[in-house]
Amino acid sequence: MALDSQLLEILACPDTHHTPLTYDADAATLTCPECSRVFEVRDGIPVLLLDEARRPGEAS
């Protein structure tokens, strides 16, 4: 399920820098270009919890 383009415009990393996220529809993830955290999109809902984010190379 693709995320709404208006939602993608306002989504930002929940860490203190609040950098806009990059969406990968094929992987169903949102990535922060500043801290490299990867947030999953589950059933069309972005999970923007720092505790559940992973760094590149970590198992999902």
Q: Look at residue 56 in the predicted model and tell me its pLDDT.
A: 73
What are 1-57's pLDDT values in tens digits?
Answer: 678 999 999 999 999 999 999 999 999 999 999 999 999 999 999 999 999 999 877
Q: How far apart are CA 13 and CA 20, in angstroms?
A: 6
pLDDT at 59 over 70: no
DSSP 27-55: TTEEE-TTT--EEEEETTEE---GGG-B-
All structural domains of the chain, each given as residue ranges with its CATH number in brackets, are 5-52 (2.20.25)
Q: Could you tell me if 50 and 14 are in contact, meaning their C-beta atoms sit under 8 angstroms apart?
A: yes
